[in-house]
Amino acid sequence: MSTDAVSTGSTGSTGSTGAPRFDPLAHPPGDAELEGRVIALTGASDGIGRAVALECAQRRASVILLGRNVKKLEAAHGQIEALGGEASIALLDLERAVAKDYEELADAVIARHGRLDGLVHCASLLGTLTPIEHYDVPTWCRVMHVNVTAAFVLTQVLLPALKLSSDASVIFSSSGVGRRARAYWGAYAVSKFAIEGLSQVLSSELDTLTHVRVNALNPGRARTMMRRQAYPAEALESLPLPETLTGPYITLLGPKARGVTGGSFDCQPAP
Protein backbone atom coordinates (compact mmCIF):
# COMPACT_ATOMS: atom_id res chain seq x y z
CA MET A 1 0.00 0.00 0.00
CA SER A 2 1.17 3.47 -0.68
CA THR A 3 2.19 5.92 1.97
CA ASP A 4 1.66 9.62 1.56
CA ALA A 5 3.90 12.39 2.72
CA VAL A 6 1.79 15.03 4.40
CA SER A 7 2.01 18.10 2.26
CA THR A 8 0.38 21.37 1.52
CA GLY A 9 0.62 20.82 -2.21
CA SER A 10 -3.09 20.47 -2.78
CA THR A 11 -5.00 23.44 -4.01
CA GLY A 12 -7.53 22.18 -1.45
CA SER A 13 -10.01 24.59 -2.89
CA THR A 14 -13.20 25.52 -1.14
CA GLY A 15 -14.87 24.66 -4.45
CA SER A 16 -17.89 26.13 -6.14
CA THR A 17 -20.13 24.86 -3.37
CA GLY A 18 -18.13 26.34 -0.54
CA ALA A 19 -16.97 23.00 0.90
CA PRO A 20 -14.56 23.45 3.80
CA ARG A 21 -10.87 23.42 2.97
CA PHE A 22 -9.69 19.82 2.91
CA ASP A 23 -6.35 18.39 1.87
CA PRO A 24 -6.54 14.66 1.06
CA LEU A 25 -2.75 14.45 1.48
CA ALA A 26 -3.17 15.39 5.13
CA HIS A 27 -5.58 12.48 5.69
CA PRO A 28 -3.80 9.27 4.70
CA PRO A 29 -6.21 6.36 4.33
CA GLY A 30 -6.38 3.48 6.79
CA ASP A 31 -5.89 -0.18 5.87
CA ALA A 32 -9.62 -0.89 5.57
CA GLU A 33 -10.58 2.61 4.39
CA LEU A 34 -12.94 1.34 1.68
CA GLU A 35 -14.39 -1.66 3.52
CA GLY A 36 -17.69 -2.68 1.94
CA ARG A 37 -17.62 -0.02 -0.79
CA VAL A 38 -18.25 -0.69 -4.47
CA ILE A 39 -15.96 1.38 -6.71
CA ALA A 40 -15.94 1.56 -10.53
CA LEU A 41 -12.90 2.92 -12.35
CA THR A 42 -12.20 3.82 -15.97
CA GLY A 43 -8.63 3.46 -17.22
CA ALA A 44 -8.33 0.42 -14.94
CA SER A 45 -6.19 -1.41 -17.50
CA ASP A 46 -3.09 0.73 -17.12
CA GLY A 47 -1.18 3.53 -15.45
CA ILE A 48 -2.78 5.51 -12.64
CA GLY A 49 -6.22 3.92 -13.06
CA ARG A 50 -4.85 0.41 -12.61
CA ALA A 51 -2.79 1.49 -9.59
CA VAL A 52 -5.83 3.13 -7.98
CA ALA A 53 -7.96 0.05 -8.73
CA LEU A 54 -5.42 -2.24 -7.04
CA GLU A 55 -5.20 0.09 -4.05
CA CYS A 56 -9.01 0.23 -3.76
CA ALA A 57 -9.09 -3.57 -3.66
CA GLN A 58 -6.32 -3.66 -1.06
CA ARG A 59 -8.32 -1.21 1.04
CA ARG A 60 -11.20 -3.75 0.89
CA ALA A 61 -13.44 -2.26 -1.81
CA SER A 62 -15.17 -4.40 -4.38
CA VAL A 63 -13.79 -3.03 -7.64
CA ILE A 64 -15.37 -2.77 -11.10
CA LEU A 65 -12.60 -2.56 -13.69
CA LEU A 66 -13.78 -0.61 -16.74
CA GLY A 67 -11.79 -0.66 -19.96
CA ARG A 68 -11.46 -1.82 -23.54
CA ASN A 69 -8.45 -4.16 -23.42
CA VAL A 70 -9.50 -7.59 -22.12
CA LYS A 71 -5.96 -8.91 -21.67
CA LYS A 72 -4.82 -5.93 -19.60
CA LEU A 73 -8.02 -5.94 -17.53
CA GLU A 74 -7.65 -9.67 -16.86
CA ALA A 75 -4.08 -9.06 -15.72
CA ALA A 76 -5.28 -6.38 -13.26
CA HIS A 77 -8.09 -8.70 -12.16
CA GLY A 78 -5.56 -11.49 -11.56
CA GLN A 79 -3.38 -9.18 -9.47
CA ILE A 80 -6.37 -8.21 -7.31
CA GLU A 81 -7.39 -11.83 -6.81
CA ALA A 82 -3.83 -12.74 -5.89
CA LEU A 83 -4.02 -10.08 -3.16
CA GLY A 84 -7.26 -11.61 -1.89
CA GLY A 85 -9.36 -8.73 -3.23
CA GLU A 86 -12.65 -8.69 -5.09
CA ALA A 87 -13.07 -7.38 -8.65
CA SER A 88 -15.13 -7.70 -11.78
CA ILE A 89 -14.48 -6.59 -15.36
CA ALA A 90 -16.83 -4.54 -17.54
CA LEU A 91 -15.78 -3.89 -21.11
CA LEU A 92 -16.37 -0.32 -22.22
CA ASP A 93 -14.56 1.36 -25.10
CA LEU A 94 -15.13 5.04 -24.40
CA GLU A 95 -14.52 5.97 -28.01
CA ARG A 96 -17.06 3.54 -29.44
CA ALA A 97 -19.64 2.87 -26.73
CA VAL A 98 -23.26 3.66 -27.58
CA ALA A 99 -26.26 4.29 -25.31
CA LYS A 100 -27.07 0.57 -25.01
CA ASP A 101 -23.54 -0.23 -23.73
CA TYR A 102 -23.82 2.41 -21.00
CA GLU A 103 -27.33 1.31 -20.02
CA GLU A 104 -26.31 -2.36 -19.81
CA LEU A 105 -23.41 -1.42 -17.58
CA ALA A 106 -25.64 0.61 -15.24
CA ASP A 107 -28.17 -2.24 -15.09
CA ALA A 108 -25.40 -4.76 -14.34
CA VAL A 109 -24.03 -2.60 -11.50
CA ILE A 110 -27.46 -2.35 -9.86
CA ALA A 111 -28.20 -6.06 -10.42
CA ARG A 112 -24.90 -7.21 -8.94
CA HIS A 113 -24.25 -4.64 -6.19
CA GLY A 114 -27.50 -2.74 -5.65
CA ARG A 115 -25.64 0.58 -5.62
CA LEU A 116 -22.34 2.30 -6.45
CA ASP A 117 -20.21 4.03 -3.79
CA GLY A 118 -17.47 5.43 -6.00
CA LEU A 119 -16.77 6.32 -9.62
CA VAL A 120 -13.21 7.22 -10.62
CA HIS A 121 -12.50 8.61 -14.07
CA CYS A 122 -8.90 7.86 -15.06
CA ALA A 123 -9.16 6.98 -18.77
CA SER A 124 -7.85 9.69 -21.06
CA LEU A 125 -6.25 10.29 -24.43
CA LEU A 126 -3.35 12.67 -24.84
CA GLY A 127 -3.88 13.40 -28.54
CA THR A 128 -0.98 15.33 -30.03
CA LEU A 129 1.12 18.27 -28.85
CA THR A 130 0.41 20.68 -31.69
CA PRO A 131 -0.38 24.39 -32.05
CA ILE A 132 -4.13 25.06 -32.20
CA GLU A 133 -3.55 26.55 -35.65
CA HIS A 134 -2.53 23.14 -36.98
CA TYR A 135 -4.43 20.79 -34.64
CA ASP A 136 -5.97 17.86 -36.51
CA VAL A 137 -9.77 18.14 -36.19
CA PRO A 138 -10.57 14.39 -35.98
CA THR A 139 -7.91 14.00 -33.24
CA TRP A 140 -9.50 16.93 -31.39
CA CYS A 141 -12.90 15.22 -31.57
CA ARG A 142 -11.54 11.86 -30.32
CA VAL A 143 -9.78 13.47 -27.36
CA MET A 144 -12.78 15.57 -26.39
CA HIS A 145 -15.07 12.56 -26.76
CA VAL A 146 -13.03 10.15 -24.60
CA ASN A 147 -11.88 12.71 -22.02
CA VAL A 148 -15.09 14.73 -21.61
CA THR A 149 -18.21 13.44 -23.35
CA ALA A 150 -17.73 9.79 -22.38
CA ALA A 151 -16.96 10.78 -18.78
CA PHE A 152 -20.14 12.87 -18.72
CA VAL A 153 -22.30 10.07 -20.18
CA LEU A 154 -20.86 7.42 -17.85
CA THR A 155 -21.46 9.64 -14.81
CA GLN A 156 -24.99 10.45 -15.94
CA VAL A 157 -25.94 6.81 -16.50
CA LEU A 158 -24.41 5.70 -13.17
CA LEU A 159 -25.95 8.54 -11.14
CA PRO A 160 -29.02 6.51 -10.11
CA ALA A 161 -26.70 3.79 -8.71
CA LEU A 162 -24.57 6.43 -6.95
CA LYS A 163 -27.69 7.96 -5.40
CA LEU A 164 -28.51 4.56 -3.88
CA SER A 165 -25.31 4.81 -1.81
CA SER A 166 -25.34 6.50 1.59
CA ASP A 167 -21.94 8.09 0.86
CA ALA A 168 -20.89 8.19 -2.80
CA SER A 169 -17.85 9.86 -4.33
CA VAL A 170 -17.11 10.78 -7.95
CA ILE A 171 -13.54 11.71 -8.91
CA PHE A 172 -12.53 13.22 -12.24
CA SER A 173 -8.80 12.95 -12.98
CA SER A 174 -7.56 16.37 -13.96
CA SER A 175 -4.18 17.82 -14.92
CA GLY A 176 -2.03 20.86 -14.34
CA VAL A 177 -2.71 21.93 -17.93
CA GLY A 178 -6.43 21.91 -17.14
CA ARG A 179 -5.92 24.66 -14.58
CA ARG A 180 -3.27 26.77 -16.23
CA ALA A 181 -3.07 26.60 -20.00
CA ARG A 182 0.15 25.62 -21.74
CA ALA A 183 0.97 26.16 -25.43
CA TYR A 184 0.65 23.15 -27.76
CA TRP A 185 -1.29 20.95 -25.30
CA GLY A 186 -4.35 21.46 -27.51
CA ALA A 187 -7.41 19.25 -27.00
CA TYR A 188 -5.93 17.50 -23.96
CA ALA A 189 -5.57 20.78 -22.02
CA VAL A 190 -9.00 21.99 -23.14
CA SER A 191 -10.55 18.65 -22.14
CA LYS A 192 -9.06 18.93 -18.66
CA PHE A 193 -10.43 22.49 -18.25
CA ALA A 194 -13.78 20.98 -19.27
CA ILE A 195 -13.48 18.14 -16.73
CA GLU A 196 -12.81 20.68 -13.95
CA GLY A 197 -15.94 22.51 -15.12
CA LEU A 198 -18.01 19.33 -15.27
CA SER A 199 -16.89 18.46 -11.75
CA GLN A 200 -17.91 21.88 -10.42
CA VAL A 201 -21.27 22.00 -12.22
CA LEU A 202 -22.20 18.50 -11.07
CA SER A 203 -21.03 19.03 -7.50
CA SER A 204 -23.11 22.19 -7.15
CA GLU A 205 -26.16 20.41 -8.60
CA LEU A 206 -25.83 17.48 -6.19
CA ASP A 207 -24.70 19.35 -3.10
CA THR A 208 -27.37 19.31 -0.34
CA LEU A 209 -29.73 17.25 -2.54
CA THR A 210 -27.87 13.93 -2.39
CA HIS A 211 -25.09 11.99 -0.66
CA VAL A 212 -23.02 12.15 -3.87
CA ARG A 213 -19.87 14.27 -3.69
CA VAL A 214 -17.85 15.25 -6.73
CA ASN A 215 -14.23 16.39 -6.94
CA ALA A 216 -11.42 16.87 -9.45
CA LEU A 217 -8.00 15.39 -8.63
CA ASN A 218 -4.75 16.02 -10.46
CA PRO A 219 -2.39 13.05 -10.06
CA GLY A 220 0.56 15.10 -11.36
CA ARG A 221 3.49 13.69 -13.33
CA ALA A 222 3.71 9.91 -13.20
CA ARG A 223 5.62 7.08 -14.86
CA THR A 224 2.94 6.00 -17.36
CA MET A 225 2.45 5.55 -21.10
CA MET A 226 0.77 8.93 -21.35
CA ARG A 227 3.69 10.76 -19.77
CA ARG A 228 6.10 8.84 -22.02
CA GLN A 229 4.09 9.94 -25.04
CA ALA A 230 4.15 13.59 -23.93
CA TYR A 231 7.83 13.64 -22.90
CA PRO A 232 9.63 10.89 -24.87
CA ALA A 233 13.12 12.08 -23.90
CA GLU A 234 12.46 12.31 -20.16
CA ALA A 235 14.34 10.02 -17.76
CA LEU A 236 11.76 7.51 -16.54
CA GLU A 237 13.47 7.08 -13.16
CA SER A 238 12.81 10.75 -12.40
CA LEU A 239 9.03 10.14 -12.35
CA PRO A 240 6.98 8.82 -9.45
CA LEU A 241 5.40 5.40 -9.94
CA PRO A 242 1.58 5.50 -10.17
CA GLU A 243 1.24 3.33 -7.05
CA THR A 244 2.89 6.06 -4.95
CA LEU A 245 0.15 8.55 -5.93
CA THR A 246 -2.99 6.63 -5.02
CA GLY A 247 -3.47 7.90 -1.43
CA PRO A 248 -5.54 11.01 -2.24
CA TYR A 249 -7.81 8.97 -4.54
CA ILE A 250 -8.50 6.52 -1.69
CA THR A 251 -9.06 9.30 0.83
CA LEU A 252 -11.51 11.13 -1.46
CA LEU A 253 -13.37 7.83 -2.01
CA GLY A 254 -13.55 7.01 1.68
CA PRO A 255 -15.39 8.23 4.78
CA LYS A 256 -12.78 10.86 5.74
CA ALA A 257 -13.89 12.99 2.77
CA ARG A 258 -17.60 12.76 3.51
CA GLY A 259 -19.15 16.14 2.70
CA VAL A 260 -16.15 17.32 0.68
CA THR A 261 -17.44 18.36 -2.74
CA GLY A 262 -16.66 20.84 -5.48
CA GLY A 263 -12.94 20.68 -4.71
CA SER A 264 -9.96 20.64 -6.99
CA PHE A 265 -7.09 18.68 -5.46
CA ASP A 266 -3.57 17.46 -6.18
CA CYS A 267 -1.82 14.15 -5.48
CA GLN A 268 1.59 15.84 -5.36
CA PRO A 269 2.92 19.04 -3.85
CA ALA A 270 3.34 21.91 -6.33
CA PRO A 271 6.92 21.91 -7.74
Q: Indicate whether 129 belongs to the interface with ligand NAP (CB under 6 A).
A: no
SS3 content of the chain, % helix, strand, coil (to 5): 45, 15, 45
Nearer of residues 39 and 207 to ligand NAP, judged by Cβ: 39
Residue from 2, 45, 155, 215 that binds ligand NAP (CB under 6 A)?
45
Q: Indicate whether 43 belongs to the interface with ligand NAP (CB under 6 A).
A: yes
| Span near ligand NAP by CB under 6 A; candidates 55-63, 100-108, 198-206, 215-223 | 215-223
Q: Indicate whether 88 belongs to the interface with ligand NAP (CB under 6 A).
A: no
Question: How many chain residues are in contact with ligand NAP, going by CB under 6 A?
Answer: 29
Catalytic residue among 102, 188, 231, 249: 188
Residue 92 host element (H or E): none
Nearest to 178 by CA among 167, 189, 164, 169: 189
Strands (E), the chain: 38-41, 62-67, 86-91, 118-121, 168-173, 212-218, 264-266
The sign of the CA dihedral 19, 258, 193, 98 is negative
Q: Indicate whether 69 belongs to the interface with ligand NAP (CB under 6 A).
A: yes
Nearer of residues 125 and 207 to ligand NAP, judged by Cβ: 125
Q: Indicate whether 23 belongs to the interface with ligand NAP (CB under 6 A).
A: no
DSSP strand pairing (38-41 vs 118-121): parallel
| Span near ligand NAP by CB under 6 A; candidates 16-24, 93-101, 179-187, 207-215 | 93-101
State yes or no: is 184 an active-site residue.
no
Nearest to 19 by CA among 28, 11, 29: 11
Binding site for ligand NAP (CB under 6 A): 43, 45-49, 67-69, 72, 93-95, 122-125, 146, 173, 175, 218-222, 224-227
